[in-house]
Amino acid sequence: MPDLLIELFSEEIPARMQKRAGEDLQKLVTNGLVEAGLTYASAAAFTTPRRLTLTVEGLLDQSPTTREERKGPKADAPEKAIEGFLRGAGLTRDQVEERETPKGNVLFAVIEKPGRPAAEIIAEVLEATIRTFPWPKSMRWGSGPLKWVRPLHSILCILTDEAGHSVVPGEVDGITFGDTTEGHRFMAPGRFPVTSFDDYSAKLARAHVVLDASERANTIWNDATNAAFANGLEVVEDKGLLAEVAGLVEWPVVLMGKIGDDFLDLPPEVLQTSMKEHQKFFSVRNPKTGRIERFITVANRETADNGATILAGNEKVLSARLADAKFFWENDLRVAKSDMSVWTQALENVTFHNKLGSQADRINRIAALAKELAPIVGADEAQAEEAARLAKADLSSEMVYEFPELQGLMGRYYIGETEKNAAIAAAAQDHYSPLGPSDDVPTAPVSVAVALADKLDVLTGFWVIDEKPTGSKDPFALRRAALGDVRLLLENKHRLNLAQVFEPGIARNISARLIHDDEYYAKQLDRFRAELPVELRNTLDRLDTKIVLGDPKTQLRYRIVIEFLSGAVFAADKDAIRRDLLAFFHDRLKVYLRDQGIRHDIIDACIAMPNNDDLTLLVKRARALSETLATDDGENLIQGFKRANNILTQAEEADGVEYSYGADIKFAEEPQETALFEALDTAEAKIAPAMEAQDFTTAMSAMASLRGPIDAFFEAVQINAENQTVRRNRLNLLSRIRTLCLSVADLTKIEG
């Protein structure tokens, strides 16, 4: 059984695309081979900056012969039908069989497809793979029509078995399949032939190419940590950077360089970001001080001077880069210390969204909301407001312009250099958090107020302009924002009614939209006009003509007046947005709790209860219910409840009445019936005050204690008694069960 070796040799493939490309090559080729009947024992893909390589071992040397039988029309069918059948089968009349069947003589075609040699199939599959390869971005070059990530230079495609190797005959757009490749561009130029995968990888290693990306990454990481360790230092781990750098070299050589003394006092994150983003350097830290003192660069070659020239060049480039960073840092500090309002004012010219105005407009909304939220989360109102006003000021700084990923962090540094409260500085960094589901949630009250307000504003804003996430599309990361708010509330155990805090956010964003979205404004104005008496409408029209020609400030005032007057018009809109947004939060909450093992039906049972916009309360209820249902009593109580509920519902439908008049113990006939009355009395006495105190655990365990009496009741008692009084009394007793259970959670929502 032969082995197959494929190498697609091109100009430098972007590092970020290599891994995926290796996987795609393996998948496309092996799928194609298997589909054509060529099975194999194992396959592996490798990538370097200049090549995608695939080795497939233990391949069939030809595809198996296949035999397919097709049933056709009757032998005496019309000529046309028979012709069609023959054409489809690719056979002539004398090549098909006539067989007797219960329906008469029927034509049968036996189509035999002979196996094809592996080489033929490989050539087809490889060509199709190359022509349809899913590069994230591909290009043409020269005069040809072929597309590849960068110009494709050669295709190595050989089959190897005991007898030796052979080139698979084939070509793609003038590139003929061959058995040669190239080594390192500079250290081993020139082409050489190979005979097998082992021969290929051995010769590449001699030609200064490490084929396996993970081997290159390991070498880089080991050499880097050793070099750092020898100097009493440590490399700052960065897996993304390591993978990228391993994709930039075929022959990694680690070099450690110095950072100029002038730059050592820059914040470590600035050094790290500048070195990583611009130079793809690793940072090397002094574990004692936490300062970044050196860098690691990875060259693609060895040199006679052991990398001295390369390192000197890299150090020089770094100095120029860091000189820029230092310049930004010092300029920014000057602004921060003298008057940061220069930065916040500059945000007036930065559009946040063309329907919602500038970043400065947005900051005003966040500040107002943060102030409103402050008492709820235990923050000082003035501090929360000021923190919100400054939290995004660093977006105007030179450093953040250069390195957007440092937003927030630079804000903390810059505010930290002023006289302002440390809580305000911390909020600048914290207010973007939590970013991911595993990101830490801020706990400092001022940070929490600003973080909540920031996300609530963006959510209410995008709901007001109706740009909600759909399917997989969520360009503004609104799901993440909602989950962030959910976690901020739950993990800090803050109690608030979301619907109430949506209110001002929605109102402010509607105002913003009226100002910035002309079409929306015109539409709302029409709606408003339609509800006015004629005389008022005429006055308004006259006014409007003047206004349209007036200055922007007058127009703004006019719009605010309109908005105020048209409160009724917006009331319904606001209400719809509030409900829809709350449902969105509930969805996020379900995802969040599902990961913590709480079933969605349990959450639904709690969402159906009052005060469902207080997420902390909602979750407290859901947890208690989840725990109760996990017990034997709880699980069985649900069955009892459902049984009671079903019987009752059916009876109510059949009788056309509601059985809620209170059962009377005096009509009880069986001891189990009496016992249930007593059990309900006891449970009610516990549940009501516990619910009042929001002590769901007590309430639910009291509810679960009904399991025994309910089960015994159903065991012994026939609901549909002959005596109608007794029957009604029993139905009313079931109603008590239902009412009591539903006062705890909507158990009808529980599945199973």
In Å, what is the CA distance from 297 to each residue of 19, 294, 300, 326?
22, 10, 10, 21
Helix and strand counts by DSSP (H, E) for the chain: 28, 18
**Three-class HEC string of 142-194:** CCCCCCECCCEEEEEEEEEECCEEEECCCEECCEEEECEEECCCCCCCCEEEC
Of 137, 288, 553, 666, the residue at the interface with another protein (CB under 8 A) is 137
- Judging by beta carbons within 10 Å of its beta carbon (0-12, 13-18, 19+), is residue 164 exposed, middle or buried? exposed
d(CA 381, CA 449): 9
CB 505 to another protein: min, Å: 25
Cα gap 205→349, rounded to integer Å: 56
**Residue 313 contacts another protein per CB under 8 A:** yes
Q: How far is the CB of 188 from another protein (least distance, A)?
A: 12
φ/ψ of residue 500, rounded to 5: -70, -40
Closest CB to another protein among residues 49, 170: 49
Give how far the C-alpha of residue 724 lies from the chain's centroid of Cα atoms, to the nearest Å.
Answer: 60
Nearer to another protein, 318 or 581 (CB): 318
Q: Which is nearer to another protein, 275 or 663 (CB)?
A: 275
| Of positions 80, 92, 94, 304, contacts another protein by CB under 8 A | 304
Using CB under 8 A as the binding rule, whether residue 342 contacts another protein is answered as no
Considering the complex, state which of residue 304 and residue 568 has its C-beta at the smaller distance from another protein. 304
Q: How far apart are CA 687 and CA 700, in angstroms?
A: 8
> Looking at 20, 71, 191, 316, which residue binds another protein (CB under 8 A)?
316
153 scored as a contact of another protein (CB under 8 A): yes
Q: Which of 1, 41, 139, 202 binds another protein (CB under 8 A)?
A: 139
Contacts with 494 (C-beta within 8 Å, 6 or more apart), sequence order: 376, 377, 448, 488, 616
According to CB under 8 A, which one of 11, 171, 541, 681 is a site residue for another protein? 11
**Can you tell me the distance from the alpha carbon of 673 to that of 690, in angstroms, rounded to the nearest whole number?**
26
CB of 16 or CB of 113, closer to another protein:
16
Using CB atoms within 10 Å of the CB of residue 613, give its burial: 0 to 12 exposed, 13 to 18 middle, 19+ buried: buried
142 binds another protein (CB under 8 A): yes
Stretch that binds another protein, among 6-14, 200-208, 437-445, 619-627 (CB under 8 A): 6-14
Which residues are bridge partners to 107 per DSSP?
Answer: 98
300 binds another protein (CB under 8 A): yes
Rounded to an integer, what distance in angstroms lies between the CA atom of residue 470 and that of residue 476? 11
Q: Hunting for tokens 């009614």 — which residue is that?
A: 497
Question: Is the Cβ of residue 130 or residue 683 nearer to another protein in the bound state?
Answer: 130
Closest approach of another protein to the CB of residue 305, in Å: 6
Q: How far is the CB of 319 from another protein (least distance, A)?
A: 9
The reply to whether 552 sits near another protein by the rule CB under 8 A is no
Q: Contact between 312 and another protein (CB under 8 A)? A: yes
**Nearer to another protein by C-beta: 35 or 305?**
305
Site for another protein in 31-50 (CB under 8 A): 49
Q: Cα–Cα distances in Å, from 708 out to 327, 549, 640, 663, 698? A: 77, 78, 9, 19, 17
Helices in 50-208 by DSSP H: which ranges? Answer: 79-89, 118-131, 197-206
Using the rule CB under 8 A, is 14 a contact of another protein? yes
d(CA 551, CA 248): 58
Residues 6+ apart with CB under 8 A from 664: 729, 732
- 3-class state of residue 493 by DSSP: coil
Between 69 and 305, whose beta carbon lies closer to another protein? 305
CA–CA separation, 399 and 397 (whole Å): 5
- Cβ 298 to another protein shortest distance, Å: 9
- Kindly determine how many residues on this chain lie close enough to bind another protein according to the rule CB under 8 A: 43
Of the candidate residues 4, 15, 589, 679, the single one contacting another protein (CB under 8 A): 15
Question: From the CB of 107, what's the least distance to another protein, in Å?
Answer: 53
Give the binding range for another protein (CB under 8 A) out of 31-39, 53-61, 141-149, 688-696.
141-149
191 contacts another protein (rule: CB under 8 A): no
Stretch that binds another protein, among 85-93, 345-353, 614-622, 688-696 (CB under 8 A): 345-353
Q: Which of residues 348-407 bind another protein (CB under 8 A)?
A: 349-351, 354
Question: Would you say 93 and 82 are in contact if contact means Cβ atoms under 8 Å apart?
Answer: yes
Q: In the complex with another protein, which residue's Cβ is closer, 153 or 749?
A: 153
Q: Terminal CA-to-CA distance of the chain, rounded, Å?
A: 55
Phi/psi-derived region of residue 493, left when phi > 0, alpha when psi is between -120 and 50, beta in every other case:
left
**Cα R_g (the chain), whole angstroms:** 37
Dihedral sign of CA atoms 658, 662, 667, 668 in order: positive
Q: How far is CA 287 from CA 56, 292, 367, in A?
A: 46, 9, 40
Query: Which residue number, 289 or 309, has a Cβ lying nearer to another protein?
Result: 309
Note the Cα 733 to chain centre separation in Å.
50
Shortest Å distance, C-beta 211 to another protein: 19
- 443 sits near another protein (criterion: CB under 8 A): no
Least Cβ distance, residue 357 to another protein (angstroms): 11
If one asks whether residue 19 binds another protein (CB under 8 A), the answer comes out as: no
Query: β-pairing, 282-285 with 234-235?
Result: antiparallel
Residue 464 beta carbon to another protein: minimum distance, rounded to whole angstroms: 21
Contact between 150 and another protein per CB under 8 A: yes
Closer to another protein at the Cβ: 132 or 143? 143
Taking the complex as a whole, how short is the minimal distance between the CB of residue 324 and another protein, in angstroms?
9
- By CB under 8 A, is residue 219 in contact with another protein? no
Q: How far is the CB of 186 from another protein (least distance, A)?
A: 6
Quick check: 309 binds another protein (CB under 8 A)? yes
Of positions 301, 600, 642, 749, contacts another protein by CB under 8 A: 301
The 321-340 contact track toward another protein, x by CB under 8 A, reads --x-----------------
CB of 297 to another protein, least distance (A): 6
User: Is residue 180 at the binding interface for another protein, with CB under 8 A as the rule?
Assistant: no
Of the ranges 310-318, 414-422, 539-547, 675-683, which one interacts with another protein (CB under 8 A)?
A: 310-318
Q: Which of 48, 297, 383, 460 binds another protein (CB under 8 A)?
A: 297
Chain center to CA of 474: 9
Give SS3 for 51: strand
What lies within 8 Å, CB to CB, of 330 at 6+ separation is none
Say whether residue 274 binds another protein (CB under 8 A). Answer: no
Binding part of the chain for another protein, among 302-310, 386-394, 496-504, 578-586 by CB under 8 A, reads 302-310
Our finding on whether 314 is near another protein (CB under 8 A) is yes
* Rounded distance between C-alpha atoms, residue 504 and residue 436, angstroms: 27
CB 638 within 8 A of CB 750: yes
CA distance 40 to 56: 7
Cβ atoms of residues 150 and 11 within 8 Å: yes
Sign of the CA dihedral running 562, 567, 569, 570:
positive
Q: What residue ranges bind another protein (CB under 8 A)?
A: 11-12, 14-16, 49, 137, 139-143, 149-151, 153, 186, 248-249, 279-281, 297, 299-301, 303-305, 309-310, 312-314, 316-318, 320, 323, 349-351, 354
